[in-house]
Amino acid sequence: MSSGVLDPVDLTQRLIRCPSVTPAEGGALDLLQAELETLGFTCHRLVFSEDGTPDVDNLYARLGTAAPNICFAGHTDVVPTGDPAAWSCDPFSGELRDGMLFGRGASDMKGAVAAFVAAVSAYLAAQGAPAGSISLLITGDEEGPSINGTRKVLQWLAEQGERLDACLVGEPTNPGELGDMIKIGRRGSMNGWLTVRGVQGHTAYPHLADNPVHRLVTMLAALTAEPLDQGSEHFQASTLQVTTVDVGNPATNVIPGEARATFNIRFNDLHSGASLESWLRETLDRIGGDYDLQIKLSGESFLCPPGPFSELIASSVETETGRRPELSTTGGTSDARFIKDYCQVAEFGLVGQTMHKIDERTPAADVESLARIYHRILRGYFT
């Protein structure tokens, strides 16, 4: 076991230089495995596949065999860079300029992964082996379909008899400054594909046709006429947003035979995927006609109520940054939606203002502060 303390900024730079665009591993997991094994971790590389989806490489690493087992979850896969010429530097250079660390994954979320590994190295150097276990669950499929990543690793852990007692996800949770926000839950997400079928005909003879566009517009108006709710204690109001309406009709004198729309629902703990689907079908059935509705549930809403774990994170953040973070459930989905079925989970990482953007970047000082926060959390967890 090494007693050397890793530099989180240097490790972030090295991770950024691995071109790990989903589902490519890009050398990022190889790099992490080498560093973790030097620290004494036992590493498992888990490659999962499924028909119609690409193979995905994942890493589970554990130090220690005793309970409790605190896990850090994250991902090394990143979204595509967009036009590299639009960047002020090579997207995979990890360039450090004027105190800012540039590169795809700098904020989402190679910086947090590096900060946690550095925090573990600092913990081992200062406190020695933990009175329990420290583990990392790192996937290469968070930015993709999320089929062959965290969910399957968790299933594998259960099959092996591995137990997680608490999990901290390193997603970029802070909207403005490091210390703003901890996520203790997430809204659910559901996509719907609505197809309305009619009878094609001439616009001059509408009585001989059945215009599906008119019925589609009526259906969408019914779905969006009233708010789904006013929010709940820990969640903002649920929303239904129409994302596209498509007819594909180039003619001005033809009533089309089919019209389609897609929508997304972000919902709080007043609903479930099943209750929303039931409401959708009842609403559309009242309007009637020939239609088809396909539903895909990305994840149910969930909440890990405020308690000792969130308080430990919040106090560690406040001690380091001087800010008392808000406990929030805002934002999109994350892999925490899978982890919450296995243990208590919370999320805290870097500032997310530039994630997925051209010139993604994060202050190097924030990466260093985040490593210190994670170190404080580890000390507090095992005290």
- Asked if pLDDT for residue 51 goes beyond 90, the answer is no
Question: Catalytic: 77?
Answer: yes
Question: What is the band of 2 on the pLDDT scale with cuts at 50, 70, 90?
Answer: very low
Domain 188-299: give its CATH code: 3.30.70.360
φ, ψ for residue 334 (rounded to 5)?
Answer: -150, 175
> Active-site residue among 35, 95, 108, 142?
142
**Does 8-186+301-381 carry CATH code 3.40.50.1110?**
no
Nearest to 28 by CA among 99, 107, 114: 114
pLDDT digits 0-9 by tens, 262-276: 999 999 999 999 999
Nearest to 171 by CA among 139, 132, 133, 148: 139
Question: Catalytic: 142?
Answer: yes
For the whole model, what pTM was predicted? 0.91
- Asked if pLDDT for residue 218 goes beyond 50, the answer is yes
pLDDT digits 0-9 by tens, 82-112: 999 999 999 999 999 999 999 999 999 999 9
pLDDT digits 0-9 by tens, 111-126: 999 999 999 999 999 9
Rounded to 5, what percent of the chain is helix, strand, coil? 30, 30, 40
Q: What is the mean pLDDT of residues 171-187?
A: 97
pLDDT digits 0-9 by tens, 222-249: 999 999 999 999 999 999 999 999 999 9
Question: What is the band of 52 on the pLDDT scale with cuts at 50, 70, 90?
Answer: confident
> Active-site residue among 25, 35, 57, 77?
77
Domains of the chain, by residue range, sit at 8-186+301-381, 188-299
Q: What is the mean pLDDT of residues 296-305?
A: 94
- Asked if pLDDT for residue 281 goes beyond 50, the answer is yes
